Amino acid sequence: MANKQPFRQGEKILFGIFGAFLVLAIIGYVALEIVRLSSPEPLFEVKTHYNLSDVGQRGSALFRQSQCTSCHRAMRNGTNMGLSLDGVGSKRSVDWLEQFLTNPEAVYPSVTIDHGLGKEAGYVMEMDRNDLHAIAVFLSELRSDQGSASSPLPPEGRSAFIDSMVKMWAPESWKEKYQDVREREGGIAAEGRDPPPEVQP
């Protein structure tokens, strides 16, 4: 039986650094959880909202009963294994959502990972059509506030960061071809519409 070789000096230093980072990460995580659980206010500003209709409330119950929350997050509940659906109603219509639930790859621009025939969430396609409609209505009522990651519109007012990025990276031809949605006199924001992909000046 071969004798075990002792760690070399460099190996001891590397293991020591790794151990220190691991301990700091655990302490930081525990501290963050203590602050999060004891704080009366959310740590991060909530940028999504919902106002559920009767059909939407039924869809919300079906969404949970059908175990959609095992992969998706909605109303700030569930997991992040799949897409977070908070704010999806600002991007997709009821019809699009219902078509996706019924036949995902007919409306989705690429191959789906879990939804579709023979896939993990394929059972959704086989659900009762009235139930799928209720879930689609529920999802359509999960809205995003202006400036959130799921909103088609940037935050209200000017942003020095956005202005500097546009100045630095946007070609002059873009500035002539496209109009800044923040400068369009309230039209899009007031109507709650998504901005068109191309806006002629």
Please write the tens of the pLDDT for every residue from 130-157.
Answer: 999 999 999 999 998 877 777 767 777 7
In sequence order, what E strands does the chain have?
A: 48-50, 73-74, 77-78, 142-144
Q: What are the residues whose beta carbons fall under 8 Å from the beta carbon of 142, sequence distance 6 or more?
A: 48, 50, 74, 75, 85, 86, 87, 88, 89
Q: What are the residues facing 143 on neighbouring strands?
A: 49
- 79 or 29, greater pLDDT: 29
pLDDT band (50, 70, 90) for residue 190 = very low
Query: What distance in Å separates the CA atoms of residue 141 and residue 182, rounded to the nearest whole number?
Result: 25
| Mean pLDDT, the chain, whole residue set | 82
Query: What distance in Å separates the CA atoms of residue 50 and residue 43, rounded to the nearest whole number?
Result: 20
Question: Which CATH number applies to 48-144: 3.90.550.10, 1.10.3720.10, 1.10.760.10, 3.40.50.12780?
Answer: 1.10.760.10
Tokens linked to 42 = 């959310």
For the chain, which residues make up each domain, given as ranges?
48-144, 160-191
Distance of alpha carbon 25 from the chain centroid? 25
When pLDDT is averaged across residues 109-138 and rounded to a whole number, the result is: 88
**Contact of 150 with 144, CB cutoff 8 Å:** yes
pLDDT tens, position by position, 46-74: 788 889 999 999 999 999 999 999 999 89
Q: Is the pTM of this model over 0.85?
A: no
Rounded percentage of the chain residues whose pLDDT exceeds 90: 31
Query: Please, what is the angle between helix 94-102 and helix 129-140, to 10°?
Result: 140
- 197 or 50, greater pLDDT: 50
